[in-house]
A and B are shown apart, each in its own frame.
Chain A
Amino acid sequence: MTTLNRSIAPDFKAIENINLIKPQHTVLPNGCNLFCFNSGDQELVRIEWIFGNVRFDSTKPLLNMAVNTMLTDGTNTLTAAEIADKIDFYGAFFSTEYGFDHSQVTLHSLNKHLKEVLPIVKDVLSDSVFPANELETYVRNQQQKLQVNLQKNDVVARRAFNKAVYGDTLYGMAVEPEEYNALRRDDLVTHFKQMYQPSNCTLIVAGKIDDATLQQLTSVFGSDWQNATNVTVTTQPEVAAATEKFYFIEKPDALQSAIRIGMPFIKRDHPDFPAMQVLNTVLGGYFGSRLMTNIREEKGYTYGIGSGISSLKHGAAFFIATEVGADVCRDAVSEIEKEVNLLKSDLIPQEEISLVQNYMLGSLLGSLENVFSHADKFKNVYFSGVGYEYYDRYAETVKNITAGKLQELAKQYLNFEDFYKVIVGKY
């Protein structure tokens, strides 16, 4: 028997095929688009009702968020307490989620309880009334939550950065606690009626979708649910970045400073987007990234640092974010600058590129944990206005990327002097 040589890594295989489950698409009689991901392993489903946000009005900035969050607060026939009791009794999970482009409600339920639970969702989506007392409670509680969040340096940095990069839009909105006082019930009701209707809804179902489930969904959300007379206006004001690029918000007692650095960026539908994701991964997109290696693992300045690209419907941003010891904040910023510039001055070694290639493909494969993840992959492309060929292009780009191409992209897109820089804490 040969002795084991532990210093030699075992052989490994490159990832070749990534198989994505594609949905069954149906347009329901009321115009609602239904996408189904059927996988019968467990007797459960996740159902998402996704609505385009109504055009941002800077005089009433909170409406999209408030209407979404308050959807479970009462209808003409059910109080907030009754909705909660019923949903919980059937062991279901019902949540609202406000996003920059879309807002949604999500239901997780065992199939056996769907016939009881779906009518509650229907009631919420078609007949919410935003009771005055619930609105008071909402305003009070949100104000308190916001007060707590505004004490967190990373939150303050993110708000300042988004405001600088996205301007006066849903993306850049940075409200103060007192602005909640301006919420009016009438505005909520009007907003609700305009936004939450079948023609503005994408319905995505993942899990066990048997005939009974499909039939319940189609009848409750395809026929019984009607459009309002007016069409939802989901166009948005132009994103315009600020001219000022440096923001220092001083917190004299800070032990750490939050840093957020970056700029407006290309969106997912841009031909360079997949290659930029490779470059981003090298810089700050995984544990072994250059920023983590330098600033955490070599210098010990931080618990974590990362970079990313957030691609939205009407804009995108590249960002680097971290919280570092207040005494080393300047050093950290100059190390970040050094790492960005290094991508432009020096070719990335082939060894590092092949590592990132394998990591990214493994991570794509690993992100497909279950049928819900396949639905999530679909949402990424569907709402970005690109098709499934995006993933083929992504995988091909990752496999074939060269050092020369990455350097070229770094020179074109990553100019540190053009970056917006936000520091919250000490500098």
Chain B
Amino acid sequence: MVKFNRFTLSNGLRVIVHEDNTTPMAVLNILYDVGSRDEDPERTGFAHLFEHLMFGGSVNVPNYDEPLQRVGGENNAFTSNDITNYYITLPAANLETAFWLESDRMLSLAFSEKSLEVQRNVVIEEFKQRYLNQPYGDVWLRLRPMVYKDHSYRWDTIGKNIEHIAEASIEDVKAFFKKHYNPQNAIMVVGGNIKTEDVKVLAEKWFEPIPAGERYNRNLIQEPEQHEERRDSVTAKVPLNDIYIALQMPGRRSGEFHAVELLGDILSRGKSSRLYKALVKEQQFFSEIHAYLTGSLDKGMFVIEGKPLTGIAVEDAEAAIWQEIEKLKAQEVPAEELDKVKNKMESTMVFSEMSLLDKAMNLAYFELLSDAEQLNHETGRFLAVTAAQIKEQANKLFRKDNSSTLIYYAETAE
């Protein structure tokens, strides 16, 4: 149970306060409701590049990191297809420094050409390090356009290609800021050894003077249902063959989401899961196999990924995966197995309350979904899922004509 208080400033900024006096620290987390799905198809990778620029100085504070480090604080941020999230942890006694820094960059950036130039290079190196210079690193660049034909999830957060990043201009940066970085487009969570009334005073002092800005009305083209099997393969300098099967699945706000997540756990969570037991241990088709889901706000991806053992034909390994998931379509999951994944989910939720930052991020994310209070009902949602619902979801998802299969073939040495 994560308790919190809340208020909204006159400019529309939502503020959630979680008091936790077991720590000497405080955390300030700001979620901006913008991700790579909001990008122009000709300027992909921009939301993430922009996140880097948020550290390049703001209108009144030329250096973001230095003053924060000086008061014993640390920060970081991440961008996904859906959101951009920034967080600071610092000694609670120095909380005001976080308000000062975060409010100034919400007010306006410095828009420095030098910062843009350097961060373009840094992000290009990130592109190389994580996506191009790693075995299988480009999988999302290949798989997303197979799963999504119309929705802007068809490109990865890093962008479609390096050129899009290299071409970003300072005008693009300014326009993006104006469109998305507004108080009414943000959710702030302050947590730790702090008092709600003090947070209110600080929020009114530092954030309330920021103009509300224009409201961004998201109007994305939604991905139509898939009705044909999609396949692709690539021969690459990778040591092993690798199979990726992606299936379209309901979005995070859908009532069906929790059943699908448990379906993923049944298939792949831990060594007692079905895919591991059947295909790694018993039938020995794979050295490793995983199933996971993207948890996207719009239609998401349910992904099954496995590396077949040397000597196993890719077609046989792929057939073995389908054989295993067909069982979930034909038969309800036994009660004990369902209890098992629910118990695991329940303890995961309890353990996540050990981390102040996790609690703050979760509150912000659930507020974005609908209402922060729903975080405290999440375990209940999982516990309410029935075996019949899981079977129903298995039948909806696990269809060949809802699948996109990408195979990596290891280039054989001459």
Residues of A within 8 A of B (CB): 4, 6-7, 9-13, 15, 41-44, 72, 80-81, 83-85, 87-93, 108-110, 137, 140-141, 144-145, 147-148, 150-153, 253-256, 286-288, 296-303, 323-325, 354-356, 358-359, 361-363, 365-366, 368-370, 372
Q: Decide yes or no: A355 and B133 within 8 Å by CB, A42-B350, A300-B125 being known contacts.
A: no
B313 interface contact, C-beta 8 A:
no
Contact of A300 among B60, B65, B122, B340 (CB under 8 A): B122
Query: Is the Cβ of B71 less than 8 Å from the Cβ of A362?
Result: yes
Contact of B281 among A4, A137, A145 (CB under 8 A): A137
Q: Decide yes or no: A358 and B65 within 8 Å by CB, A12-B94, A366-B89, A370-B355 being known contacts.
A: no
Assembled-state Cα–Cα distance A153/B137 (Å):
13
Closest chain A residue, CB of each to CB of B340: A89
Assembled-state Cα–Cα distance A293/B159 (Å):
25
B235 to nearest A CB, angstroms?
Answer: 14
B305 interface contact, C-beta 8 A:
no
Query: Is the Cβ of A110 less than 8 Å from the Cβ of B122?
Result: no
Closest chain A residue, CB of each to CB of B353: A42
Closest chain A residue, CB of each to CB of B206: A4
A24 to nearest B CB, angstroms?
Answer: 19
Query: Is the Cβ of A9 less than 8 Å from the Cβ of B67?
Result: yes
Query: Is the Cβ of A91 less than 8 Å from the Cβ of B271?
Result: no
B233 interface contact, C-beta 8 A:
no
Given contacts A6-B103, A286-B69, 9 further A-B contacts (CB under 8 A): A15-B91, A80-B271, A88-B271, A92-B347, A287-B65, A300-B117, A300-B124, A359-B70, A362-B74
Contact with A along B349-367 (1 / 0, CB 8 A): 0110111110000000000
Contact of A366 among B74, B130, B205, B343 (CB under 8 A): B74
Query: Is the Cβ of A84 less than 8 Å from the Cβ of B100?
Result: no
Q: Decide yes or no: A10 and B100 within 8 Å by CB, A42-B353, A140-B309 being known contacts.
A: yes
Q: Decide yes or no: A358 and B69 within 8 Å by CB, A42-B350, A90-B343 being known contacts.
A: yes
A255 to nearest B CB, angstroms?
Answer: 4
Cβ–Cβ < 8 Å partners of A287 in chain B: 65, 69, 74
- In the complex, 19 of the A-B residue pairs with CB atoms within 8 angstroms, ordered by the A residue number, are A6-B100, A12-B94, A81-B272, A85-B272, A87-B272, A88-B270, A109-B347, A110-B350, A137-B281, A137-B284, A144-B288, A145-B287, A145-B288, A255-B128, A299-B121, A302-B122, A323-B125, A324-B125, A366-B90
Assembled-state Cα–Cα distance A140/B281 (Å):
11
Cβ–Cβ < 8 Å partners of A302 in chain B: 122, 125, 129
Query: Is the Cβ of A148 less than 8 Å from the Cβ of B347?
Result: no
What is the size category of the interface that chain B forms with chain A? 35 or more
Closest chain A residue, CB of each to CB of B118: A300
Query: Is the Cβ of B239 less than 8 Å from the Cβ of A150?
Result: yes
Query: Is the Cβ of A253 less than 8 Å from the Cβ of B135?
Result: no
Cβ–Cβ < 8 Å partners of B60 in chain A: 6-7
Query: Is the Cβ of A12 less than 8 Å from the Cβ of B310?
Result: no
Contact of B344 among A91, A256, A298 (CB under 8 A): A91
Closest chain A residue, CB of each to CB of B100: A10
B72 interface contact, C-beta 8 A:
yes
Q: Decide yes or no: A297 and B347 within 8 Å by CB, A6-B60, A323-B133 being known contacts.
A: no
Which of B5-13, B21-29, B32-40, B179-187 lies at the interface?
B21-29
Query: Is the Cβ of B240 less than 8 Å from the Cβ of A148?
Result: yes
Q: Decide yes or no: A355 and B270 within 8 Å by CB, A91-B346, A152-B135, A255-B128 being known contacts.
A: no
Contact of A80 among B122, B240, B281, B288 (CB under 8 A): B281
Assembled-state Cα–Cα distance A147/B73 (Å):
40
Q: In chain B, residues 97-134, which have Cβ atoms closer than 8 Å to a Cβ of chain A?
A: 97, 99-100, 103-104, 107, 117-126, 128-130, 132-134
Cβ–Cβ < 8 Å partners of A83 in chain B: 271
Contact of A355 among B66, B100, B238, B345 (CB under 8 A): B66
Cβ–Cβ < 8 Å partners of A300 in chain B: 117-122, 124-125
Assembled-state Cα–Cα distance A72/B346 (Å):
23
Assembled-state Cα–Cα distance A147/B240 (Å):
8
Could you say which of A255, A362, A363, A368 has the most chain B C-beta atoms within 10 Å of its C-beta? A362
Query: Is the Cβ of B72 less than 8 Å from the Cβ of A365?
Result: yes
Query: Is the Cβ of B122 less than 8 Å from the Cβ of A362?
Result: no
Contact of A325 among B128, B209, B307, B341 (CB under 8 A): B128
Cβ–Cβ < 8 Å partners of A366 in chain B: 25, 72, 74, 89-91
Contact of A254 among B24, B133, B272 (CB under 8 A): B133
Cβ–Cβ < 8 Å partners of A4 in chain B: 205-206, 209
Cβ–Cβ < 8 Å partners of B351 in chain A: 44, 93, 108
